[in-house]
Structure 1
Amino acid sequence: MLRFLILAVSLFATAAAGQTAPPVNVGAAVERPIVRAIRVSGTVTSPSAAVLSPSVGGLVAHMNVDAGDQVSAGDVLVVLDAELQTLELRRREAELQQAEAALADSRRRLDEAERVRSANAISESEIESRRATAVRDAAALAAARAAVQQQRSVVDRLSVKAPFAGVIGRRIAAVGEWVNTGDGLVELVATDDLRFDFRVPQEYFGDISMQTVVELESDALPGFAADGHIIAIVPVKDPGSRTFLVRAQVNGETASSVTPGMSTRGILHVDARRNGIVVSRDALLRYPDGRQVVWIIDDSAEIPVVRERQVQTGLMFEGLVEIRSGLDAGSTVVTRGNETLQEGQQVSIREQAPGGR
């Protein structure tokens, strides 16, 4: 019985010893340029959106798409009735054949005249007349070929094709409806390379550049978060709202989860034009009484211990928090495992993150 008691006491002591130095992750408090976060709202927009219309009038014969359909560039979306225009094409092709035959005949008659010219069997005026006829027939043939080419283009345009890949936003026309040149048939919206458009207050115009970091979120997709890059800053201010346009973009699969028209939020990180001390946001603990503290590593002893420091914070950005007072640059702060620490408690350092993280 005594042996079991000794063993139990030994195990308890070992466990207690292990708890006195819990493992923690740490990072350094570093001095660096402070970044100010500007929060703005915006909309997801498409680089291309068009209401497609026919270049020739006609009767709608087929609607090959409906709202929501994905299409590729070159897909036939709407077909107009081609019967009358096809008949006109055949008529012009027949006229082309006639013109070819007429030119062949006039050239033959001119060649015959040239062969008997040396024998004075034909007058010069007749030769010139035949030559003029050949020239007129050649011109008529060229006109007939152009007419056929034009009519073929008309027939081809009776099939309205997608000029770019995208999604059908809505159908405007219906089968059996007569449409004229310029009338809307379908709305096509590109879904690749979507843009995030934000209206930014004019006082920030001098702070934002093409290198400004922007974090993107969407109200419609709670889990959506992505880093974007600015592709355009439009230096034309809206006199009503006193804002200017900033356009950002996200590449890859992340962008495919949003659609044109969605509301979006952006966080623009701009230089605050001052330096300050920052630590990882995970190092900061907030208490109900309003206190904000970080735990620092005191490694003056053989086994590191932790000390609590009450701090005043400033701006938050890029996963960091600015420390206005209460902490010196170069201090080592606890970033993981800091929730249950006690003053002077021994710890074992498990991992050290890069400065400020």
Structure 2
Amino acid sequence: MTVTPRHLEERLPLTGTLTADRAARLSTSVAGLVIALQADVGDQVKQGQVLLELDGELNRLALAGASAAAEEAEARLADARRRFQEASTLVARRSIAASEVRGLEAEVAMSQAALASARAEQRRQHALLARHVLKAPFDGVISAKQSEIGEWVTPGTAVLELVSPQQVHADLAVPQEYYPRVSGESRVELRLGGDAGPAYPATIAAIVPVNDPNARTFLIRATLTSTAEGASLPPVTPGMSVRASLFLSAAEPRLAVPRDALVRYPDGRVSVWVAEDGADGALVAREQRLRVGDGLGDWVAVQEGLSDGDRVVVRGNESLRDGRELDVRD
């Protein structure tokens, strides 16, 4: 066959870590004393399940006081409305001064405002009391417990860690020089059991264009998909290491030869047999050493040793010797 430039797909080996799509360090909304802890490390929990309770006695008393204040304000408003209605019937017969009626009307308005304020305080105390209970924000597994019964906890301090292992992605560090060539359409395969494990297809969910100045890498996030045959994925957990292959199309066409044309030697040498025109017009075999690059499938990129238009032997090259005359057959 004749050597010509081709657009080859390059395989870039990567390593990464499986990370949960949903992971949270849970903390309480209010400060308080832990009186009940209903989850431990490794427990499977459902969204809305109670995980921790704080002592809410003082808030329950405050809520009772706010409720009583609201009832009092409601009674004051009812009394003010009654007196205003009675005065309104007397003003037509000039039995009461108009200014006194306006004063009663203002008293009704103030009583309405006082009732609204009392009800708002009642709702606030109810909300504070509800915040003494910590519930699971999503389904998952408790991965860490950082509090015990009897401890005083404050907002912002993690008491539990919750991870959803059902949804994971692979975070892969890619050398910075490949950034212009990576896109959401780039093909990715993940191996969960090392290089010897099966490869599973994945899709690029995100490309994070932030360079790590220490490693000179950027991050891509790949999401596992089902296999082409519809087989289910193996059990995975966040934190597992993965090996990945990122397939990139070459920006420029490169010289390539079929893999079958290569002759590899134990000392690492790689060569091909080139068909050259002999003195009498016949084709003769000449061994040509090569420097090859990555290759996928049936084609290997040639970095050095061949030129565009060279003819190489693809089949029947196992027993050739330098200078041997060739008989080309289809």
CA contact (8 A) 2:187 2:203 kept: yes
Identity across the alignment (%): 39
Counterpart code for 2:173: R
Match for residue 46 of structure 1?
20
Match of 1:322 among 290, 293, 300: 300
CA RMSD, 1 decimal: 3.7
Q: Secondary structure of the equivalent of 2:91?
A: coil
CA contact (8 A) 2:28 2:131 kept: yes
CA contact (8 A) 1:314 1:321 kept: no
Match for residue 102 of structure 1?
76
Distance change (3 Å), C-alpha of 1:313 and 1:158: same
Match of 1:66 among 27, 36, 40: 40
Measure the CA separation in 1 of the matches of 2:259 and 2:165: 37
More displaced stretch, 217-226 vs 262-271: 217-226
Measure the CA separation in 2 of the matches of 1:224 and 1:143: 65
Alignment of 1:62-141 (within 5 A): 62-141=36-115
Question: Relative contact order (C-alpha < 8 Å, sep 6+): which is higher?
Answer: 1
More displaced stretch, 252-261 vs 109-118: 252-261
Match for residue 25 of structure 1?
none
The answer on 1:274 being equivalent to 2:248 is: no
Distance change (3 Å), C-alpha of 1:221 and 1:276: closer
Match for residue 249 of structure 1?
223
Match for residue 262 of structure 1?
240
Alignment of 1:151-300 (within 5 A): 151-218=125-192, 223=197, 225-252=199-226, 257-272=235-250, 273-274=252-253
Measure the CA separation in 2 of the matches of 1:130 and 1:100: 16
Measure the CA separation in 1 of the matches of 2:28 and 2:50: 12
TM-score relative to the length of structure 2: 0.75
Which deviations, in whole Å up to 9, do the C-alpha atoms of 1:283-332 show, x marking residues without a partner? 99989797999xxxxxxxxxxxxxxxxx9895566654538699979x8x
Please state which structure has a larger fraction of its residues in helix: 1
CA contact (8 A) 1:269 1:317 kept: no
Structure 2 residues not aligned, in runs of 5+: 272-288, 316-330
Match for residue 10 of structure 1?
none
CA contact (8 A) 1:31 1:278 kept: no
Structure 1 residues not aligned, in runs of 5+: 1-29, 294-310, 334-357
Measure the CA separation in 1 of the matches of 2:9 and 2:130: 57
Distance change (3 Å), C-alpha of 1:118 and 1:85: same
Measure the CA separation in 1 of the matches of 2:159 and 2:109: 46
Q: Secondary structure of the equivalent of 1:183?
A: coil
Count of aligned pairs: 292
Match for residue 13 of structure 1?
none
Measure the CA separation in 2 of the matches of 1:102 and 1:267: 75
CA contact (8 A) 1:202 1:243 kept: yes
CA contact (8 A) 2:194 2:243 kept: no
Match for residue 302 of structure 1?
none
Measure the CA separation in 2 of the matches of 1:169 and 1:226: 27
CA contact (8 A) 2:5 2:253 kept: no
CA contact (8 A) 1:236 1:244 kept: yes
Distance change (3 Å), C-alpha of 1:210 and 1:192: same
